[in-house]
Structures are given as C-alpha cells and as structure tokens.
Chains A and B, each alone.
Chain A
C-alpha cells in the first residue's frame, strides 16, 4: 500500500525540504525585496523623496524580473546557481531562482504597503524635522507593519507555489515528489497526497500569518 514506511519517510523529507526552501528563499527575498520596495515607495511620484529617473529604472527592472515565467527563470539562472551553490538540483540550489523570483514580487508588495500609510502622519513627522531615514524607519515601516506582515504571508504562499514548480528540474521538496511519482510514474495517489499536503501548508502559513497580523494591530479597539 502507499502508506508504507518508505513513502512516509519520503513525504516527511519532502515537507522538510519544501519548508526549508520556502523559509530561506522568503527571508533572502526580503533581504533584497525590502530595500527595493522602500526605494520604490520613497522615490515614486507621491513618495517622500521623489526621484523620477531612479524610480523609473528600478520600476522597469522590477517589471522585467516579474514578467519572466518562473519555469524559464529556473533554467536561465542555472549557471548562477552552479556558481553559488555548486550544483543545479536539490533544495539548496532551488533557493537561488526562488529568491530571484521572490525579490521583485516582494518589492512590489512592500511598495504598496508603504504607500498605504496616511500622508498626514508623514507630514506630521516632516513638521517635526524628521529626516527621510527617520520617516522610513519610525513612520512608514512602523505604521505599515500589519500590511507588511500580511505581505510576508502572501509572499510565502507564492514562494511555496514556485518551489513546487522547481520539481521539474529536480528541485527537491514536495513538488519534486509530485512530478516524479505523479507525472513520470503515473502514481496518481502519491501525487494527490503531495498536492493535499501543499494545500494544507499554504493554509497553515496563511492562518498563522493572519492571526499574527490581527494580534499586533493596534488600530482596533
């Protein structure tokens, strides 16, 4: 039957690899995407320090990166992945294309979160003599933190979806299992199980993220 020890072990390993990829790639994606998002929000037309040319350059780069289909990106960056990780397959290697796909997406999420901050509050800080840096740290990031947190949750869900796609080139994790068993070996049952686990993981991440966001929000009574 499908639930023998070996299959269980494989699935558990798949879950572990998937979570590893998602968490590390999302964190690395934020390391790049958070500064990018701040830059876009600050230098944009209604930002606190409009710089039209700079905005346009990063706006275009972000759009280009975002419009490359992930499957193509996976293959395109194989040389880079080899250079950084040493090989092009397995969960560690998948982190490279995942991060590159996540960063521009995260940048847009951060940009839109920061743009939601009430302009009056920013003006109040400006009237106190705050520098742009102080406004970013003390006002924008602080006031947008709920929206940013929800953004993290959404980003994780997206990265999880991408990570499953990496199974096509032997990326490891649950997607890899689903493709190997479901697609190459016609083992529909294992494929369905992995899909169910993937769905469950997204649900759990979403649930945790939303609960956390609701808990730290001070706007409600």
Chain B
C-alpha cells in the first residue's frame, strides 16, 4: 500500500492554439514518512502536477490515491475534509495581508470549526514550533521572506496534516534562508511524521532534503531514483542537464566568492 500514488495522470489545457499537454501519463508512489522531490525546469509541469494532487487543478485523466482512496472520486464536501490532511505551502507564501501572524495561523483552525479565541490560543503552539512566537502580533508585510514562509509552515501545521505539498516553497528565498527553511521542513518531517512532497527547480534543494526524486521534463516523468543514485548515475539526458545546471551555479558562486 502506497501512502500517495499518482496513477497515469494526464492534464491538457485548451488554448487558442489548440490542446496543450501539460502532464502526460505521470505515475509515481510516495511512501509514508519520506521526503519526495519532483524536479524540473520551469514549464516542465511541476506546479500543475502538485496542484492535481489536492485537486486545485482537475486532471484530464488518471487519478491520485491518498492512503488507497481516490481523491478524484470525492464529492466537494469529502474533498474539503480530505484537503485538511493535505497541507500546502507556496512560493509566494499566500498569507492574508490583513490578518496578524497569529490570526493567519488560526485560520485553518477556524475553517475546521474552532472558535476564534480557541483557534488563537492553539495557534501559539505552532508559532513556537516554527520559532517565531515573538512575531505573533506582527503583520505579514512586516516580515522577511523566510519569516513569512515560517508563518505559512505554522499555518499548515495547524491543520495537523499527514502530507505536505511544497510548491517551490524556497524559490523566493536566498540560499541561506532556503537552508533554514529546508532544515525546518526536515524537522517537522521527523517530529510530526509528516510526509513531504517537494516541487522545485533547484537540485540543491533535492540534495539537501529529499530521499527520492523524480525528474520531470515536458510534462513527462523521465527518471525516478534515490537522490544518491540520481546524483551518482543519472540515466537520462534530462537528469544530466539538471545536474549540469547545478554545477554551473556552483561554479558561478565560487567565482563570486
């Protein structure tokens, strides 16, 4: 039994120029407790793929099984319930700008039916878990990118999820902050046993945190392996290309230093 399974997912978009295939025949499995990465360049279909998992996007065909239950067959009401077990964090954090940090974290608790006051009290715990209880009364516009993503992580923890989807969660952050956020994700993976699915274009992210990784190119899954194996013996051109880009990046950084 796989914890999460994508089964022959396809997604087509209809545009003025005809049909565009964003995802073709994507299948993979994620085990409980692991950190699974999906890497690809922009336009590879990563975001579409992760959004198909909690049905922010409806796949054209194929299905997603979460704990052996098809997400795609669920009614709107059942889907909402299931979504509480599948948290999501985003590249641009997507915090409510008119709510304080504490009230942002309280939001999923309110959505689940808690009273505002209870929700706020509980929200403190999660702010402490991500290390920024001192920012509780600040507003998102007063925070740095790294702090905003911590708030988003606290907010996602508040719904007590079993699976966490990260859509380019560190792409708007500098390298040092990225490392801190990844360390936090690894912590919550260990501490709360939350399975994590990470979408990224950066090999460094995969290398730093993932157990296994799948390479996506042109809407197709090219290669899937443990991170160690993929780095040591990339089999496909797509994987080699991504590794090469990373080497270039590293050389550039060294040159700058």
Contact = CB atoms under 8 A, between A and B. Distances in A.
B56 A127 contact: yes
A121 B95 contact: yes
Interface residues of B, number: 31
Contacts of B99: 142, 218
B70 interface: no
B80 A123 contact: no
Interface in A110-135: 118, 120-121, 123-131, 134
B92 A120 contact: yes
Contact of A221 (B86, B87, B141): B141
Interface in B100-159: 100, 107-108, 110-112, 139, 141-142, 152, 159
B56 A130 contact: no
Contacts of B200: none
Given A128-B107, A128-B111, A130-B111, A123 B94 contact: yes
A124 B90 contact: yes
A142 B98 contact: yes
Given A128-B83, A130-B80, A134-B111, A218 B97 contact: yes
A128 B96 contact: no
A125 B98 contact: no
A138 interface: yes
Contacts of A139: 96
A138 B83 contact: no
A220 interface: yes
B228 interface: no
Nearest to A135: B111
- Which of B54, B82, B94, B100 has the most chain A CB atoms closer than 10 A to its own CB? B94
A142 B111 CA distance: 14
Given A128-B111, A138-B107, A142-B98, A123 B141 contact: no
A180 interface: no
B97 A127 contact: no
A215 interface: no
A138 B111 contact: yes
A145 interface: yes
B196 to A, nearest CB: 15
Contacts of A217: 98
A130 B79 CA distance: 10
Interface string B148-187: 0000100000010000010000000000000000000000
A124 B158 CA distance: 13
A98 B98 CA distance: 32
B255 to A, nearest CB: 35
B81 interface: yes
Given A121-B96, A142-B96, A142-B98, A129 B80 contact: yes
Contacts of A118: 94, 97
Nearest to A127: B88
A143 B97 contact: yes
Contact of B142 (A129, A130, A138, A221): A221
Contact of A126 (B56, B82, B112): B56
A134 B82 CA distance: 17
Contacts of A129: 79-84, 108, 111-112, 159
Interface of B: 54, 56, 79-84, 86-88, 90, 92, 94-100, 107-108, 110-112, 139, 141-142, 152, 159, 165
The 10 A-B pairs of least Cβ separation, nearest first, read: A124-B94, A129-B83, A129-B80, A127-B88, A120-B94, A218-B139, A129-B84, A128-B108, A130-B111, A219-B141
5 contacts: A118-B94, A138-B111, A143-B96, A218-B99, A219-B97
Given A124-B95, A219-B141, 15 more contacts: A120-B92, A123-B90, A124-B88, A125-B111, A127-B87, A127-B165, A128-B84, A128-B159, A129-B84, A129-B108, A130-B80, A142-B98, A143-B96, A145-B98, A218-B97
